[in-house]
Amino acid sequence: MHPDRRFAWDDRDAMLAFVADISFCTIAVDGPFVIHAPVVVDAPGRLRFHVARGNRATKALDRARAVVSCLGPDAYISPDWYGTPDQVPTWNYVGVEAEGSLRRMDEDELTSLLDDLSAAHETRLAPKPAWTRGKMTPARFEGLLKAIVGYELAIEDLRGTRKLGQNKRDEERAGAVAGLTPFNRAVADLMREAGR
């Protein structure tokens, strides 16, 4: 996370909501191993995810410590947009890291994770009728279940950064917002909100 305290994000509930919304995160484990996986947030203190059983990192995950990194909108910021001399390029972004110990899930917990994961994302596709595993034959589901392993991360530390130009004067940030808007409205809107 960015070391400048002006960018610190300390609202635990907002950070967990961000992770739940983004959902697809990077998981780093000693080795080093990096995994990309969808996560489910279980407030207040755990994340759940699954990986392919054949993933080379799977053995390293058992009882390991990990960092789950979830990156939201990001954008390059041109120094020309500030309207003041002696500026440098930068990158604005929103991100959250959750750190903690991992525990392998049993089959029932893994099944619950898959149900929760699909339910969370199927609701985003409304008015499409939600997919459930009830649309699969039990034998097919059981066969696919054997191909993955589920893990739970007990959140011991949660860190967030909202680096959105808070270190700039209002007029500099407004210039950057105006310059960025045609290219990346999502980050421009976040920068606008951070200035309020």
Q: Is the pLDDT of residue 62 over 90?
A: no
Q: Is the pLDDT of residue 30 over 90?
A: no
pLDDT, position 59? 85
> Using 50, 70 and 90 to split pLDDT, how confident is the model at 63?
confident
Q: Is the pLDDT of residue 131 over 80?
A: yes
> Using 50, 70 and 90 to split pLDDT, how confident is the model at 196?
confident
Give the CATH number for residue 38: 2.30.110.10
Average per-residue pLDDT for the chain? 94
How many whole angstroms separate alpha carbon 17 and alpha carbon 22?
9
Give the structural domain span for 116. 5-194
Do residues 150 and 109 touch, judged by C-beta distance below 8 A? yes
Q: Is the pLDDT of residue 6 over 90?
A: no
Q: What total of structural domains would you count in the chain?
A: 1
> Using 50, 70 and 90 to split pLDDT, how confident is the model at 2?
confident
